[in-house]
A = this chain, B = another copy of it.
Amino acid sequence: MLKTEEIVQIMSKQGLRITDQRRTLAKLFAESAGYLSPKDVYEYMCQHYSGLSFDTVYRNLRVMQELGALEQIMFEEGVKFKARCSEDHHHHHLICLTCEKTYPITFCPMKLTDVPDQFQVVKHKFEVFGYCKDCLATEAEGLSVPSSTAVEISK
């Protein structure tokens, strides 16, 4: 996953101004293991910026995604974002259903897939969902609090 400074660099190099808010956004995503919904982001950012408005969050999420700093994924519950993977080689993900943290899978099934009759492949998606070791352990302990996707970040 990208580090705070890498995300800031991406924005800076593309001509974006690095405001306090955008730096905090970069830090939030750099230190979040899982996916964040616009609402998650808004609620987190509100703790640091009192007069924050939802539209600015949307604008920044969109810009950061268009610049390639963030990845956008559709879940059943709606859109979510996380920092782009820093690994440059093609890979897939295991995704924990509890904490939404992702783990890389190097294996790509595409090479082994028999594509029928003149179908021209453009892209593919291979995602594995389940429960990660940590969340299973937490559950086993009988703790009712799942590890949250939100993170504590010192501003």
Query: A residues near B, CB below 8 A?
Result: 74-76, 94, 96-97, 103, 105, 107, 109-110, 112-133, 136
Nearest CB of chain B from residue A149's CB, rounded to whole Å? 18
When the two chains form their complex, are residues A113 and B105 in contact, meaning their CB atoms are under 8 A apart? yes
Q: Which residues of B contact A128 (CB under 8 A)?
A: 110, 113, 115, 119, 121, 123-125
When the two chains form their complex, are residues A125 and B122 in contact, meaning their CB atoms are under 8 A apart? no
Nearest CB of chain B from residue A17's CB, rounded to whole Å? 28
Q: Which of B118, B122, B126, B132 lies in contact with A119, CB distance below 8 A?
A: B132
Nearest CB of chain B from residue A85's CB, rounded to whole Å? 16
13 contacts across the A-B interface (CB closer than 8 A): A74-B75, A97-B122, A105-B113, A107-B112, A109-B112, A109-B126, A115-B130, A118-B136, A119-B132, A121-B128, A121-B129, A123-B129, A124-B126
